[in-house]
Amino acid sequence: MKKREFTTLTIALHPTLPNKNPEEEEEEKKKKKLEKKDIRERISIERKMGHRNKEKKNRKKKENRKTFPRKSHISRPKDCSQITGDKRQSSTSSRLSYFRYRYGNTSSSE
């Protein structure tokens, strides 16, 4: 008996019982739908604006890269003689000559 009384109480207090006219309910539903649409439109506009700001930043970055290129973009030749025609040794050949001087002119097969 107590369980039935409890369930009847909850049903009586439930907010979805038809207390209003069906016309008023339809109007409220329409208002809620319009509010949701407005919120969605606002969010989409904000996202687009954020996207535009990102595009501006990327454009500025590209312009800066043109004026100040990254070091990795600059291709450096390994030998100095390739640039200026200098007869100076490149870093690898100078290292080899240092090892020849230090350890003698020996080949690795010996």
Chain segment 29-55, per-residue pLDDT in tens: 999 999 998 888 888 888 877 777 788
The predicted model gives 80-87 an average pLDDT of 52
The predicted model gives 69-74 an average pLDDT of 56
Two structure tokens written together for 59: 């454009």
Evaluate whether 58 touches 66 at the Cβ level (below 8 Å).
Answer: no
Mark 36-62 as b/e (b = at least 16 C-beta within 10 Å): eeeeeeeeeeeeeeeeeeeeeeeeeee
Tokens 């606002």 — which residue? 42
Reduced DSSP (H G I as helix, E B as strand, rest coil) percent helix, strand, coil of the chain, to 5 = 70, 0, 30
Could you tell me which residues come within 8 angstroms of residue 73 by beta carbon, excluding any fewer than 6 positions away?
65
Cα distance between residue 87 and residue 40, in whole Å? 69
pLDDT of 28 > 80? The answer is yes
